[in-house]
Structure 1
């Protein structure tokens, strides 16, 4: 288990992404995936109040609702649940009133007394940051939220949040959720990781498998052969360098008897301040690969090789 920042949250070093629940995984499939994840040793589930408002006929909150029903049906297993605010169609932005109303709605859907980890999903520059920081701090003070975190914030805004929290004496964030993986590294490593190291913040990266590219499934920029919602986004990584990364992952994964995806997750886990990458499974058979990704330990040479082949630099 790994501890998130300076919190009391002890988690399996792989978070199960809940974005697929109620979308590409129906209720029964979602329950089976959650059961397999917990039975395999997982205890960390990541969702958001907006999942899956983008799907036809959906209004947001579908993922939280399924997770809440599963928690109730399983007599509330000891899992850490993270969710987010700012993108639900009914609760857009991070004004104080909106943050409070959205948190209360998430609590009802999840059926829990307190949210373990509550994220500001996207920065809201139209709301004074002092107001947002104060609203999150009040949720902690009132016992509705145990710990807070930020997602998709720039380094400058993270530092400003920390300054305001310290000056006003409210709870600080304990984690950052950035877009980070083997084919998307530079911005996080150059700007976010130094802050996380200095301030004892944990990284919980999303798109850990680059929309599925780092499973090895997409080896062509032509996405037409893959009838999945993420195929087009994943196929863009099928460049010569991207395919070299996949080949290296395949060889290293085979040496440990794990999948390409598991090896990619293991590399990400090995990076400074990363506590638990997020990856989702829309089918039951994918869960074992995620669990393997939370357990397999790559050698120092394997980590260095993957770092080398995935290093990006602009063309001269």
Structure 2
């Protein structure tokens, strides 16, 4: 695997955490990447200067025979084997593991301890509420999460998959009550999914000085350019995630993405990452099933798109804005 140029480190707002502006997604670990391959991906990511890894207790509960916890388990074994936990900025999530759904105090306490055990660590650097739990008031969620930080097991908080109204309320309550304010949000955002983030979530991130780690940065691989027809998806693990998005509008975006990539002698995936960074996000989340997929992701952190490049991509993706 050849090395790729990478950007300088960026600091997450209101923290001492400095990371390369690429968040390695751990959803493949224990799913499309076995233990050995996962270790190879992680080793290559760190060797290239990466340190920011995102997982969840629910990964990969969607896979046959899994109840979740697979990714955290693989990561914990890697930390133990490499002795490098202190060099990694670790993010995980709570609320979606089939046996640990919801954000009640008892469930969150148990889920956190189970995650720590699987990850073989004593703290989480960035702990997200994976999904909202409307049976628990925002005021109670804020108090519960603040307690996790005060316990020393969690350093910073983040929110993902909340409605804009409930997310804003979370920030407002925490700020007003002097409790722990989230430092990050994790929205669904990419060239094929723009509207919700740009209209509803970006203003929240700006107002409350929160980092933005978009998930599905590559639209489950569609923005790599490797899926052009339904036939390209046959036998692929991500077929179910991609096939409904394989539309004429989406392929038109991929065409422009490929054209812009060619002018930079870059991969489409690199341009998709660079576009997200040009839009002001902090560290897009992207996963790699093999080490060979990493250079294109890493190169995206150092690729500087021109104003014309961004405008062309904006125009092509306008149907999704």
Aligned-residue offset at 1:201: 0.9
Cα deviation digits, residues 27-61 of structure 1 (max 9, x gap): 00000000011111111110000111222222211
- 1:18 equivalent among 23, 26, 29: 26
Report 1:121-136 matches (<5 A): 121-136=130-145
Query: Structure 1 runs of 4+ off > 6 angstroms?
Result: none
**May I ask how many residue pairs the two structures share in their alignment?**
312
Classify 1:185/1:168 alpha carbon distance in 2 versus 1 (closer, same or farther; 3 Å).
same
- 2:264 equivalent among 240, 256, 259: 256
Is the 1:219–1:235 Cα contact (8 Å) retained in structure 2?
Answer: no
In 1, Cα distance between equivalents of 2:246 and 2:62: 26
2:83 is matched with: 75
SS state of the match for residue 313, structure 2?
helix
Note if 1:188 corresponds to 2:197: yes
Classify 1:53/1:313 alpha carbon distance in 2 versus 1 (closer, same or farther; 3 Å).
closer
Classify 1:223/1:92 alpha carbon distance in 2 versus 1 (closer, same or farther; 3 Å).
farther
SS state of the match for residue 312, structure 1?
helix
Aligned-residue offset at 1:238: 2.8
Report 1:123-272 matches (<5 A): 123-220=132-229, 222-223=230-231, 225-272=233-280
2:299 is matched with: 292
1:54 is matched with: 62
Q: Which range is displaced more, 234-243 or 48-57?
A: 234-243
- 2:49 equivalent among 34, 41, 46: 41
Classify 1:225/1:47 alpha carbon distance in 2 versus 1 (closer, same or farther; 3 Å).
closer
SS state of the match for residue 91, structure 1?
coil
Is the 1:148–1:174 Cα contact (8 Å) retained in structure 2?
Answer: yes
SS state of the match for residue 88, structure 1?
coil
Is the 2:189–2:214 Cα contact (8 Å) retained in structure 1?
Answer: yes
Is the 2:194–2:320 Cα contact (8 Å) retained in structure 1?
Answer: no
Aligned-residue offset at 1:223: 4.9
TM-score (norm 2): 0.93
Show structure 2 runs of 5+ residues with no match: 1-8
SS state of the match for residue 80, structure 2?
helix
Q: Which range is displaced more, 184-193 or 128-137?
A: 128-137
Is the 1:155–1:192 Cα contact (8 Å) retained in structure 2?
Answer: yes
1:103 is matched with: 112
TM-score (norm 1): 0.95
In 2, Cα distance between equivalents of 1:238 and 1:163: 39
Q: Which range is displaced more, 234-243 or 178-187?
A: 234-243
Is the 2:205–2:212 Cα contact (8 Å) retained in structure 1?
Answer: yes
SS state of the match for residue 87, structure 1?
coil
Aligned-residue offset at 1:89: 2.1
Is the 1:186–1:312 Cα contact (8 Å) retained in structure 2?
Answer: no
In 1, Cα distance between equivalents of 2:247 and 2:96: 32
Classify 1:201/1:253 alpha carbon distance in 2 versus 1 (closer, same or farther; 3 Å).
same
